[in-house]
Structure formats: structure tokens, C-alpha cells
Amino acid sequence: MQAVLDSQQIAEQFLDWVHREKERFPFVPRLATVLYRPAAEAASLQYRNLILKDAERLGVRACALEAQDAAGLCGVIAGANADPDIHGIVVLYPLRCPLADEDVMDLVSPYKDAEGLHSINLGYLIKYKRFLDPEREIKCVVPATAKAVVKALQHHPEIAIEGAFVTIINNSMRVGKPLGLMLENLGATVVKCYHLTRREDLERCVRRADILITAVPDPSFRLDPSWVKPGAAVLDVSHQGNLDARSLAGKASLLTVPENRLGKVTRAMMFVNLIYCARCKGTLYA
């Protein structure tokens, strides 16, 4: 029996949790988005606007910060780190600026890192450290997209993660690398493929996958649906679509469709992370 992933339903459950949790604070949590304006893509602008709209709906404060050059980007992030009225920071990648994305990720305070991309937070993920402070319910933050994929899979208990063979077609710092770690922590065997993977190896890994996750940003990349194992769970996390969902009807056990991919859940995970960051208020920000 095939299930179509309902991102809206999953996202609403977590957004409802955020709405309840924010009422426990004596202040209103505030999220800052950071955009590098000179190379800003339409997708980044759209994503920022959706985040701001979500924040308004949740009753969470949000501000949209922008930088015009690399020095300004560093200054904007430093200012947000130092501002006690800002509790979470989301940088809109890819930046396409003189600074490497990975270096900018480490400019954001790990205590305000609503994306979980700082080296310290990724290090906690490697160690499978779940709490910074269990008594205060302060959890370690993990990358939002990777977390969205895991939560989507866990929403369907018929999809077993433990013991599964998982193929991820993405090796980025924002998706493939942290997602692989998260699924390994949950007992899966994970293989990551990317643009340098030989086609015959890619086919072999896809055919073996119990869970297939593809997130290739290249619009020209298309995955051969005939490779997909009958009964596999298939999550297409790409923006433009890496495969034809219709061709997998009746074949995949769980499937994302173009009009209902994981963007809503990813944004919900950012606000979940904001709550964890807000619980750190009063901590000496690094």
C-alpha cells in the first residue's frame, strides 16, 4: 500500500508545538534571517518571505537582515550574535560570496544557530549528543532539512529506519552529510552519492535502497524511476524534482509529490530549533 507524504499535516503538528512552547517564555522569541543581497536568488527571497510569513502566523517576532558585501555580511552576523533580543539566526544559503558557506556557518553563534550548521552543533550530531541541558529541556539543534526528512519518515511508523539500507543522493553540509549521520544514529546503513559517483554505482545503490532520498539541486538531473526498489520509501527533497513521482505510483511505499514536498516541514524545524535556542537565553553567547 502506497502513502503520499503529507508535509502540511506534519508541519502543522510541529508548528502547533512551537505555538504552545513560545507561550512559556517571559519574552517573545525572535528569529533573524540573513540575506547576502548581491547574489540573492529568487528561491532564497521566496524562502525568506515564507519564513517571515510563518513567524507572523505563529506570533513569533522576525527580522530580515541583509548585507551588500562580504564585510557587511560578517558585521550583520556579529551584530545579530551580540543582540540579546535575537534568539535564532537563519542564513540563506547558498551565498555565492567571497566567503565560503562553511566558514560563514561558523560565524553564527552556536547558541543562536537555528539551522544547526555550526561546527560545534554538527560535532554534537556526530557524537549523537541530544541535550545541552536536559533539566532545562535545551536540546542540541540539528540541520533543519535533515531533521525534516527524519521527522517525515518517523511520521510513518510502517517505514522502518532501524536496519534499513538508505541511499542519499546529496553530500552537502546542509542536507546529505547531517542526514546521513542522523539516520546512522537511528540504526540505518547509509550510503551517500553525489555528482562524482559513477553512474553504475549510483544505479546499484538506488536499486538496493529501502529508503531513497534525493536532493540534487541541478535542474538537469533526473533519476531513472526503473531503478527504484518496489516498496521503497522515496523522498524527493530537491526544489525542481529529481524524478517523476507519477512513474512511481503503486511502486513506492511512501512518496513525495511535487505540490507537497518537505519545504513546509523544513521551515517548521527551523522554528522548533528557535525554541531550543530561545531556551539558551541568559547563556554567554559565543
CB-CB neighbours of 260 under 10 Å: 16
Closest CA to 70 of 41, 48, 39: 39
Q: Which residue's C-alpha cell is 511505499?
A: 253
- Provide the pLDDT for residue 284: 39
- Cell numbers placing 100: 565560503
Question: Distance (Å, rounded) from C-alpha 98 to C-alpha 232?
Answer: 41
246: pLDDT confidence band, cut at 50, 70 and 90? confident
Q: Which CATH class is domain 146-262?
A: alpha beta
Chain centre to alpha carbon of residue 135: 26
In percent, the amount of the chain with pLDDT more than 90 equals 83
Which among 139, 198, 189, 134 is positioned nearest to 164, based on CA atoms?
Answer: 189
Q: Collapse the DSSP code of 33 into the 3-class scheme (helix H, G, I; strand E, B; otherwise coil) and give the result.
A: strand
Do 20-139+265-278 and 146-262 share a fold?
Answer: yes
Average pLDDT over residues 112-116: 95
At residue 94, the 3 state secondary structure works out as coil
Q: Over the chain, what is the mean pLDDT?
A: 93
Cell of 233: 520509501
Backbone phi and psi for residue 133, each to the nearest 5 degrees, phi listed first: -150, 95
Q: Span 259-278, mean pLDDT?
A: 93
Does position 286 have pLDDT exceeding 90, yes or no? no
Domain ranges of the chain: 20-139+265-278, 146-262
State the CATH class of domain 20-139+265-278.
alpha beta
Where does the pLDDT of residue 200 fall: very low under 50, low under 70, confident under 90, or very high at 90 and above?
very high
Strands 254-255 and 211-214: unpaired
Is the pLDDT at 106 greater than 70? The verdict is yes
Contact between residue 178 and residue 185 where contact means Cβ atoms under 8 Å apart = no
What is the reported pLDDT for 1? Answer: 63
> What pTM value is reported for the model?
0.93
Q: Would the pLDDT of 99 be above 70?
A: yes
Mean pLDDT, residues 168-192? 96
Residue 116 DSSP one-character state:
-
- SS3 breakdown of the chain: % helix, strand, coil, rounded to 5? 40, 15, 40
Residue 130 pLDDT > 50: yes
How far apart CA 56 and CA 271 sit, in angstroms, is: 12
Candidates 117, 107, 262; CA nearest to 178 is 117
